[in-house]
Amino acid sequence: MFHYKDIDKGTWCSPDGKTVNPIDHIMKDERFTSFIRDVRTYRGNEIGSDHFLVVGKVKIKMIWNQQPKATPKPKLDIERMKELSVKEAYVIETNNRFTALQEAEEENSVEKAWERIKTVVADAAEKNTGQEKENEETEMVQRKVSESSRKVERSQDAMAA
């Protein structure tokens, strides 16, 4: 696998200093053969043994365990906030919810209070503005993909029957 001179392949030296044999090895799993780049012995290092130092160079491929991406929240149609009627309805909705929230209980935790404020604002915005409409091209692509997937499913069902 790795081409070296015979003298560089030896890992053990006999007490008389004349015989050198390759008796030390690096074990590997068959799956990881491509990871090993080089294996060699270093004869000059004094390690207090009659064996030479065996070193292997390995290149490891890291594979990160990626968490599945969360589904994105639908975007709100913020442009509708420019309309006076929508703006007034949003202000009334948030004022009513905050009044009810204050009457319900006083929060000791800043985190809990923040979560409630965030949900009140987001819910009021979604209720009054609605979701942003996707552009026509995106809708057309989604329709074509769903139609083609239905055709494939039908053809697979027909072949199975």
Q: Which residues contact residue 155 at a Cβ distance below 8 angstroms, ignoring those fewer than 6 apart?
A: none
- pLDDT value of residue 145: 80
- pLDDT value of residue 116: 83
The answer to whether residue 148 is domain-embedded is: no
- In the beta sheet, which residues pair with residue 38? 57
Q: Do 75 and 52 share a structural domain? A: no
Domain hosting 15: range is 6-58
Q: Do 85 and 54 share a structural domain? A: no
- pLDDT value of residue 134: 63
Q: Do 127 and 94 share a structural domain? A: yes
The answer to whether residue 112 is domain-embedded is: yes
The answer to whether residue 152 is domain-embedded is: no
The answer to whether residue 23 is domain-embedded is: yes
Share of the chain above pLDDT 90, in %: 0
- pLDDT value of residue 74: 72
Residue range 91-101: average pLDDT? 84
pLDDT tens, residue by residue, 75-86? 777 788 888 888
Q: Do 31 and 85 share a structural domain? A: no
The answer to whether residue 97 is domain-embedded is: yes
Task: Place 150 in a pLDDT band, splitting at 50, 70 and 90.
Answer: confident
Q: Do 95 and 119 share a structural domain? A: yes
pTM as predicted: 0.38
Q: Do 51 and 11 share a structural domain? A: yes
Q: Do 43 and 11 share a structural domain? A: yes
Higher-confidence residue: 93 or 32? 93
Report the DSSP pairing between strands 20-21 and 53-58: unpaired
Q: Count of domains in the chain?
A: 2
Report how many helices (DSSP H) and strands (DSSP E) the chain contains, helices first.
4, 4
Q: Which residues contact residue 158 at a Cβ distance below 8 angstroms, ignoring those fewer than 6 apart?
A: none
The answer to whether residue 140 is domain-embedded is: no
- pLDDT value of residue 105: 66
The answer to whether residue 101 is domain-embedded is: yes
